[in-house]
């Protein structure tokens, strides 16, 4: 395992911004993980694990310790019976490749999570979800290195404190566990309706009535491709803001002023699309010369680095949006990509 010094972190974030890592290495298996963490400990350095960098914004001051890039590859399906299968995937596997292979195997459970950028190990951290599916619905166990006890552990899905786009890995136990593999319980069968309206419309237009996992994957890929930029060509971190959930009474008073607010019931209140709020305050397809940042024309939730000089520029642009939404609606948008360190 090679440990490099003074590595630019801009190439480890699809936003293409950030300072330097004091040290950086790649890990390919559980031994590498243990070795990398032991090295950091013996040198009295903090350590952090990353995947594809698609949900990370690095601060300009960089990272003062060891950045561990997870490249643990593994893919195995254990067929329990005719309708149940367990899929174990390495944290370093490209997530969409895992989805693609599971769909090709005729399995349902994660096909609505198609084309989500990044690696597999990142999916439990924010309980990645899209179009009605999220990872907590299928995740059975996680194999991880527990830096608190110095041991490899197996965590059950029910131990992960999953919530709407959240888990213990980004709250109470942030930085504690280094994920090696995840195991999902998938089934052989068909995705269950109702589908999100954009997905349903796709099926109607395409004349699809018998929905297979492959058809749902195709629908999601088509919808995402039509409104989201490809991070391989356009520097962005996907949705920059989480969709806010507000209290019922807050919603009632907002709805009195803005009758057509799109909304959906959520566990703890009412869920609003952040994209709609941003559009209402005039930030759709905005190109900001002062910061070199823009919002993507088809989806204003996506902030694009056109020619930002640094992360400070990105954060200044983000704040303009947050302030405008707060001034008009009294809602404080929360940043979705993690700001590190
Ligand atoms: P969208 O499909 O335009 O939906 C916007 C908002 O409306 C989302 O909050 C979505 O809920 C909600 N919504 C739409 N139809 C709904 C229905 N039938 N029932 C309940 N809620 C409904 O959103 P988008 O921004 O283009 O994103 C597409 C999908 O990718 C969404 O599901 C979004 O949550 C997901 N996404 C996830 C992440 C992540 O996991 N970090 C990041 C970006 C986008 P939900 O948010 O509950 O789906």
- Residue among 148, 129, 126 nearest 138 (CA): 129
Question: Does the CB atom of residue 235 touch ligand 1 within 6 A?
Answer: no
What's the pLDDT at 206? 97
Among 111, 143, 336, 338, the one annotated catalytic: 336
pLDDT digits (tens, 9 = 90+) for 73-104: 999 999 989 999 999 999 999 999 999 999 99
Q: Report yes or no: 143 and 181 within 8 Å, Cβ to Cβ.
A: yes
pLDDT digits (tens, 9 = 90+) for 17-61: 999 999 999 999 999 999 999 999 999 999 999 999 999 999 999
Write the secondary structure of 25-53 as one string of H (helix), E (strand) and C (coil).
Answer: EEECCHHHHHHHHHHHHHCCCCEEEECCC
Instruction: Spell out the domains of the chain, with CATH numbers in brackets.
Output: 3-70 (3.30.43.10), 75-227 (3.30.465.10), 236-340 (3.90.78.10)
Among 217, 239, 294, 338, the one annotated catalytic: 239
Question: Does the CB atom of residue 244 touch ligand 1 within 6 A?
Answer: no
Asked if 165 is an active-site residue, the reply is yes
- DSSP lists the bridge partners of residue 269 as 266
Three-class DSSP category at 181: strand
What's the pLDDT at 267? 83
Question: Does the CB atom of residue 128 touch ligand 1 within 6 A?
Answer: yes
Question: For residue 20, what is the enclosing H or E element?
Answer: strand 20-27
For residue 134, give the ligand 1 atom closest to its CA: 40
Asked if 336 is an active-site residue, the reply is yes
Q: From edge to edge, which strands make up the β-sheet containing 47-50? A: 4-8, 20-27, 63-70, 47-50
Phi, psi of 19 (to 5 degrees): -80, -145
Please identify which residue in the block is written with the tokens 């005719």. 82
pLDDT digits (tens, 9 = 90+) for 290-340: 999 999 999 999 999 999 999 999 999 999 999 999 999 999 999 999 999
Please identify which residue in the block is written with the tokens 């996992």. 213
* DSSP E strand stretches across 35-169: 47-50, 56-58, 63-70, 75-79, 84-90, 107-108, 129-130, 133-134, 139-146, 151-156
CB atoms within 10 A of CB 321: 25
Say if residue 1's pLDDT is above 90.
no
């Amino acid at each position: 395992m090679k440990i490099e010094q003074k590595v630019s972190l801009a190439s480890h974030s699809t936003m293409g911004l950030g300072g330097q890592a004091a040290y950086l290495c790649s890990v390919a298996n559980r031994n590498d993980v243990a070795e990398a963490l032991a090295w950091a400990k013996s040198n009295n350095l903090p350590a952090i694990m990353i995947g594809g960098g698609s949900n990370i914004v690095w601060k300009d001051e960089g990272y003062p310790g060891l950045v561990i890039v997870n490249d643990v590859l593994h893919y195995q399906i254990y067929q329990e019976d005719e309708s149940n299968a367990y899929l174990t995937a390495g944290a370093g596997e490209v997530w969409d490749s895992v989805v693609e292979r599971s769909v090709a195997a005729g399995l349902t459970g994660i096909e609505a999570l198609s084309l989500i950028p990044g690696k597999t190990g990142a999916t439990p951290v924010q309980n990645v979800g899209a179009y009605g599916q999220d990872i907590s619905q299928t995740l059975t166990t996680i194999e991880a290195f527990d830096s608190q006890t110095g041991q490899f552990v197996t965590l059950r899905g029910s131990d992960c404190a999953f919530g709407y786009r959240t888990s213990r890995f980004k709250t109470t136990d942030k930085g504690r566990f280094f994920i090696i593999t995840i195991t999902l319980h998938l089934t052989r069968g068909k995705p269950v309706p109702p589908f999100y309206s954009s997905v349903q419309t796709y099926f109607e237009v395409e004349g699809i009535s018998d929905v297979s996992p492959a058809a749902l994957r195709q629908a999601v890929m088509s919808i995402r491709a039509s409104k989201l930029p490809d991070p391989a060509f356009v520097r962005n971190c996907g949705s920059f803001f989480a969709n806010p959930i507000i209290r019922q009474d807050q919603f009632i008073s907002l709805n009195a002023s803005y009758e057509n607010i799109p909304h959906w019931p959520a566990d703890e209140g009412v869920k609003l699309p952040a994209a709609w709020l941003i559009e209402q305050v005039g930030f759709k397809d905005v190109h900001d010369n002062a910061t070199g940042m823009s919002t993507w024309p088809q989806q204003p939730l996506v902030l694009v680095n056109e020619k930002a000089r640094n992360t400070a520029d990105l954060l200044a642009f983000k704040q303009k949006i947050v302030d405008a939404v707060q001034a008009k609606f009294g809602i404080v948008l929360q940043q979705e990509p993690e700001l590190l360190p």
